[in-house]
Chains A and B, each alone.
Chain A
Amino acid sequence: MKTKPSGVSGTGGSGGDVCSSERYPGATIVTADPKGVDAGPHFMDGDHAIAEGGLAAGCRFFAGYPITPSTEAAERFAERAPEVGAMFIQMEDELASIAALIGGAWGGQKCMTVTCGPGFSLMTENLGLACMTETPMVIANVQRGGPSTGLPTLTAQQDMMQARYGPHGDNMIIALCPDSPQECFDLTVEAFNLSEYYRVPVIILTDETVGHMHEKVVIPPADQIKILPRNNYSGPKESCRPYKFDSQGGHPMVRAGDGYNFHITGLTHNEKGYPVMTAEQNVKVVTHLMEKINGNADKIIRLEENEIDGADVVVVSYGITSRIAVKAIQDARKEGIKVGSLRLITIWPFCEKRIRKLAPKVKAFVVPEINYGQMVKEVERCAGGVKVISVNHCGGAVHDPDVILAAIRKANQ
């Protein structure tokens, strides 16, 4: 497996500059603060890479709680915080961690935390508050075997739907899925840019294998890392609106202490932030929260495609499973089967359009994932009747490539 160049400044995935004004219309794009960038090649695991990605992206506030297998990221941030001039605090529980992130964001800092299954479950209520109050933050969920305490030291991808449907009520987040420590770094930087632009929590859904796997990670020099700085409102006080319900991103945040006397509440609110608890107002708020992401899906979604044109079978996979599938795909091609691979870098919003466009041209989709069948449901929803074979797994290990190969053969009949 050739190690990939850093996707931060390169054209990772579906082409086009990863951090460009096409993707973030109207946003000011600057280069990273060298203080937080530990440039050069490293031999690092995914957890550390996530912490480094946060520091490079300008995150200066980390509130976390230890949980296997994500604690290494918190440890790394704690080590680096004094020299970078960042604030690290280990809170009393995950509830407090994400609550502190919400406070930190409105206090003017870019914020992140790293957790895992049980911690993420504790965070869901305040994740909902962060969506409702449009608070930018990054949460890395290094998935482990579930349910419940499950397999704390073993890998799984069983929290995909929880990331999307965790909090109560209709809300929408962005979720990215790195497949290697290098991409852990790259996607954390991208996650911060997305969260700052769309003012939404962005979740990095990796898993224990990638989190604990050591690989070469190339951190580009600061001037090659493009980031979106925090965009604080600085206009006149009367026209200061913490919110604008126009289903678009790019609205400025308001920072506490700047004299705008903002009011932020989890209640349904108007653009001034004052509670307006009516059904009509909820139409405006919920539509904005949903369409802000879904409406801009084509600017948000990034996929990595390999020999999709003319393929009979397309393997749709993400995270560590996509790297296991490479073996199965190579073997299948040796057997003469025309197989394409579609790797989901952006999990949520789901790439509906792409699947709908591919469906008529292929015989079947094969969806290997380390869960009992989650993202396969999304693929089936959009496959329009085309055969979709789920290669599920109950967690605790990665697939055996031959199992995927068998599925590809079956798909090819």
Chain B
Amino acid sequence: MSTDIEKFKAGSPMSSTLRMDRMPHIWCPGCGIGSEVNSFAEAVKRSGIDPKKVVVVSGIGCTGRVAGYVNFDSIHTTHGRAIPVATGIKLANPELTVVVFSGEGDLAGIGGNHLIHAARRNMDLVVICNNNFTYGMTGGQLTPTTPGSAMASTTPYGNYEYPFSLPFLMDACGATYIARWTSLHSRNVTQSIEEALLRKGFSFIEIISPCPTLYLRRNRLGDGVDQLQNYQDNSILKHGADTRETAIDYQGKIVVGKFVEKNKPTYLEASDKCSVKLVGDDYQLYGKTIPEREAEEKAEKERIAARRAAMQAEPEEAAAEPKKAAAPKAAVKKAPAKPAAASKTAKKAPAKAKPVKKAAVKAKPAKKAATKAVVKAPAKKAATKATVKKAAPKAAKTKVVAKAVKKAAPKATAKAKAAPKKTRK
């Protein structure tokens, strides 16, 4: 069962913003990165920014491969150094819109020092952080945001470290735009990225996403789609929430929304102001005076506005170009309600309806329905118990899931239940 790839590529609206010649990509089935790249590509198109002026920098890791798949100027740097490289590009060519697209391990782990300083300086960058709570590329180790008690290959008995809350960290560092979504909220991600692309200053967008192959498997949380279902049930939309209340417990509530949006002079504006005071009005950076640069900027803003207006007023039947007429725009505003509404109807409808939709695939439904029912019940139980007892229900959950899914061999669960005297399983 295959499709004519060339015809699909020609028709696909993503072909202008993604390197279709490098697809299919390397990310695993059910991984959230693809959805984010999809939203990012849509956001660049909607923002009206000249695609020639967009530069994507990404570090090392699963999300680090994003630079290779987007059809813009892109640099795939060493682990953790995406932000300083992006700083270099922005300062060397201020008219560019520089986006850093990397994982939480790359940005907040090894690259943490650069993250906090770029935020402190209000460097004019858009930082999109794919937070899947694990170092996926290297086999699922814990990251600075892995929730407590979560399993990882380097915390085989449960993580006992205290994770970062990235919005809180970024707020403390002075970032001027902070938002968090999950990869399910792809419309909101698109809208947030669009806003970030069009504004000046340090924008940080954290996107919680599933890592089915490592984080979800190791913690018996089912597939990517189960985790997205979990996001739908557990995410609380709270624009402007206090970033101190944005910590994420293991499979707990996720506060999403746009938390911070304020204006502060960017690094470049401050540097220009200082230099003008020194050298006078004929101060030039790279041979262009400030009035010249401002004129160029204004001209570019008008071109952007013109492109956005053109997209708005486009007639409905425009062929490949996806419609951005008033309806979907309004839909965007309604969007958070829609998936939630859809899920409400799904929940109201007898649980049987969801798995039935998948009944056609004989192999899948048994597993999906079983894991979902199981995943939902204990998750709620685990979320409420904060104390040591938390380990007990998880062990019980492992036993129940194993029996229903018949995936884990009974021998393994028996061993997990008995306290692991040996260090190696």
Binding site for B on A (CB under 8 A): 60-61, 63, 81-83, 85-87, 89, 91-93, 95-97, 99-109, 111, 125-126, 129, 133, 255-267, 274-275
Chain B neighbourhood of A101, CB < 8 A: 88
22 sampled A-B residue pairs with Cβ under 8 A? A81-B275, A83-B279, A85-B284, A85-B286, A87-B285, A95-B80, A95-B81, A96-B113, A102-B77, A103-B90, A105-B88, A105-B92, A107-B96, A126-B77, A126-B78, A129-B77, A129-B78, A256-B89, A257-B93, A257-B95, A261-B72, A263-B68
Tell me the residues in window 1-55 of chain B with beta carbons closer than 8 Å to chain A beta carbons: 19, 22, 52-53, 55
In the complex, the answer to whether B287 meets A85 with C-beta atoms within 8 Å is yes
The residues of A that contact B55 with a CB separation of less than 8 Å are 256-257
Question: Which among B72, B81, B117, B278 has the highest number of chain A CB atoms within 10 Å?
Answer: B81
Residue of A nearest to B267 (CB): A89
Q: Tell me whether B52 and A107 are in contact (CB under 8 A).
A: no
CB pair A96 B22 closer than 8 Å: no
Complex interface: chain B residues within 8 A of A109 (CB)? 92-93, 286
Is B266 among interface residues, defined by CB-CB distance under 8 A? no
Residue B114 CB within 8 A of the other chain? yes
Question: From residue A289, how far is it (CB to closest CB) to chain B in Å?
Answer: 17
Question: A interface, by DSSP: helix, strand, loop or mixed?
Answer: mixed
Contact partners of B93 in chain A: CB under 8 A: 107-109, 255-257
* B265 CB, nearest partner CB in chain A, Å: 15
Please state if A125 and B92 are interface contacts (CB–CB under 8 Å): no
For A257, give its contact among B52, B83, B85 (CB under 8 Å): B52
Give the B interface residue count (CB, 8 A).
45
In the bound assembly, the distance between CA atoms of A259 and B93 in angstroms comes to 14
Q: Chain A residues near B166 (CB, 8 Å)?
A: none
Docked-complex contact A102 and B85, CB < 8 angstroms: yes
Q: Is B76 a contact partner of A92 (Cβ separation < 8 A)?
A: no
Cα(A111)–Cα(B95), bound, Å: 18
**Nearest Cβ on chain A to B297's Cβ, whole angstroms:** 14
Q: Mark B262-278, 1 if CB is under 8 A from A, else 0.
A: 00000100010011001
A89 to B83, alpha carbons, bound, how many Å?
14
In the complex, residue of chain B having the shortest beta-carbon distance to the beta carbon of A272: B21
**B296 interface residue per 8 A CB criterion:** no
Q: How far is the CB of A58 from chain B (nearest CB, A)?
A: 11
Closest 4 CB pairs of A and B: A103-B88, A107-B92, A99-B84, A100-B88
**Contact of B84 with A96 in the complex, beta carbons under 8 Å:** yes
Q: Are B286 and A263 in contact (CB under 8 A)?
A: no
In the complex, besides A61-B88, A108-B93, 18 extra interface pairs with C-beta distance below 8 angstroms are: A60-B286, A81-B275, A82-B279, A85-B283, A85-B284, A99-B114, A103-B86, A106-B73, A107-B88, A107-B92, A107-B93, A107-B96, A109-B93, A256-B73, A257-B93, A261-B72, A266-B76, A266-B78
Q: How far is the CA of A260 from the CA of B72 in the complex (A)?
A: 8
B129 vs chain A, min Cβ distance (A): 18
For the complex, give the distance between the alpha carbons of A99 and B81 in Å. 6
Whether A262 contacts B73 by the Cβ 8 Å rule is yes
When distances are taken between beta carbons in the complex, the residues of chain A under 8 Å from B153 are none
Are A106 and B75 in touch, CB under 8 angstroms?
yes
A264 CB contacts on chain B under 8 angstroms = 74-76
Nearest chain A CB to B373's CB is how many angstroms away?
Answer: 42
Identify the closest chain A residue to B117 (Cβ): A92
Q: Is the CB of A96 within 8 A of B81?
A: yes
Residues B76 and A259 in contact, CB atoms below 8 Å apart: no
Measured between alpha carbons, how far is A108 from B98 in the docked complex, in Å? 14
A265 in contact with B81 (CB, 8 Å): no
B188 / chain A contacts, CB cutoff of 8 Å: none
In this assembly, does B175 line the interface, its C-beta being within 8 Å of a C-beta of chain A? no
Query: Is B170 an interface residue, CB under 8 A from the partner?
Result: no
Residue in B22, B57, B267 with the greatest tally of chain A CB atoms within 10 Å: B57
Flag whether B192 is at the interface (Cβ < 8 A): no
Q: Please state if B81 and A87 are interface contacts (CB–CB under 8 Å).
A: no
B76 A265 Cβ-Cβ under 8 A: yes
Q: Are the CB atoms of A103 and B75 closer together than 8 Å?
A: yes
> Judging by beta carbons under 8 Å apart, are A89 and B113 in contact?
no
